[in-house]
Amino acid sequence: MSIVDVHVHLTPKCFIDVVQKGEDWYGMTVEDGELDNPKNLWTPEQRIAEMDRLGVDMHLVSPTDVFYQYHQEPTVTAKIARACNTEISELANAYPQRFMGLGTLPLQDIDLALAELEYGMGRLGLKGFMIDDHVNGVTYDDPVFDPFWERVERLGAFMLVHQYGPTVTETRTRKYFLHNTVGNSVDRALTYGCLVGGGVMDRFPSLKICLGHAGGFVPYAVDRMDKGWEMFPKYRGMAEKPPSKYLDRFYYDTTTFTDRNLRFLVDVVGSDRVVLGSDWPAPMAVDDPVGAIRDSPVLLEREKEAILWGNISKALG
């Protein structure tokens, strides 16, 4: 069975080639794309060599998060998405044993997003898409997104939720890298709460949503969510059950960094909902993602197999 890392990024060459000449690319410049990280400039062959070193068979590649560009004029974002998605598709087609693709979408315009969703899943052969925790401050429980979720469910797209910026913590402080180390996890818990409370997971029961960064604070916060659901019925929204009853409706990657957190995640959400994810090539990536699972003293062998390949094989079907 192939070991698949679901949380890896790519800065597209179509962007790099333009901005390195000092030009802008659909309003984006050399300051975007995390080009200060040399791994974002690597060739496919260099990526594959790194995968071999880490013991990873397949990368489920998504664009670097800066390419969401939800704040731009929608037709511009649609062009950015098409360029990114096409390049990722070409990579997967050139190396079908090593790469699969997740695209990006112009989610500030639902019609354009639906068109790119269909094109990406159909013509480009993508497995799904990576999306932010919100679209210009609008959360995914908003009814405007119902046609989107209906199409995502019908097409069987795998959706990776991954923040860009600013995260919610930045309204309070921009110090100490907390916008990332805390903000990412807070944003993911808000996304979970909105999808559950807004009834999205009840209306679309076959959605395949992966909450990046191990679900953020969801595993820790969900018991308090349950208490609130019990004590304040008027705030339940459209959720048919307590929030914890939806934990097994999501997937969660393994960017936990410690055996302690890994075991906690598995205990809370179930070993059948956890998939391998490293956040490569970001500086915050798990250094040895496969070894962290294979050598973990807190996981059973059947849990390791599920996390490394079994669960994602079922999800991508």
Closest CA to 108 of 130, 75, 66, 156: 75
Q: What is the mean pLDDT of the chain?
A: 97
Token pair listed for 313: 């094989």
pLDDT tens, 132-143? 999 999 999 999
pLDDT score of 1: 83
Q: How far is CA 272 from CA 127, 269, 309, 313, in A?
A: 20, 8, 11, 11
CA distance 303 to 176: 35
The structure tokens 């050399």 sit at 30
Closest CA to 280 of 70, 65, 7, 2: 7
Mapped onto helix, strand or coil, the DSSP state of residue 177 is coil
Residue count (the chain): 317
Burial of 298 per CB tally in 10 Å (0-12, 13-18, 19+): middle
Domains and CATH numbers, the chain: 4-316 (3.20.20.140)
Cβ(269)–Cβ(256) below 8 Å: no
What angle is formed at CA 306 by the lines to CA 304 and CA 312, rounded to 5 degrees?
Answer: 130
Q: Is the peptide bond before 166 cis (omega within 30 degrees of 0)?
A: yes
Cβ(273)–Cβ(250) below 8 Å: yes
pTM, to two decimals: 0.97
CA distance 303 to 299: 6
DSSP state of 100: E
Instruction: Please give the average per-residue pLDDT across 267-281, as a whole number.
Output: 98
- pLDDT level of residue 285 (50, 70, 90 thresholds): very high
Beta bridge partners of 161: 131, 211
CA distance 31 to 110: 28
Instruction: Please give the average per-residue pLDDT across 179-184, as a whole number.
Output: 95
DSSP string, 204-249: STT-EEEETGGGTTHHHHHHHHHHHHHH-GGG-TT-SS-GGGGGGG
Q: Which H helix or E strand runs over 121? A: helix 110-122
pLDDT tens, 105-128? 999 999 999 999 999 999 999 999
- The distance in angstroms from the start CA to the end CA of the chain is 13
Distance of CA 170 to the CA centre of its chain: 21
pLDDT score of 317: 85
pLDDT score of 127: 98
Instruction: Please give the average per-residue pLDDT across 78-99, as a whole number.
Output: 98
**Pairing assessment for the beta strands 208-211 and 128-131 based on DSSP bridges:** unpaired
Distance of CA 2 to the CA centre of its chain: 20
Cβ(261)–Cβ(249) below 8 Å: no
pLDDT score of 306: 98
The structure tokens 């990406």 sit at 120
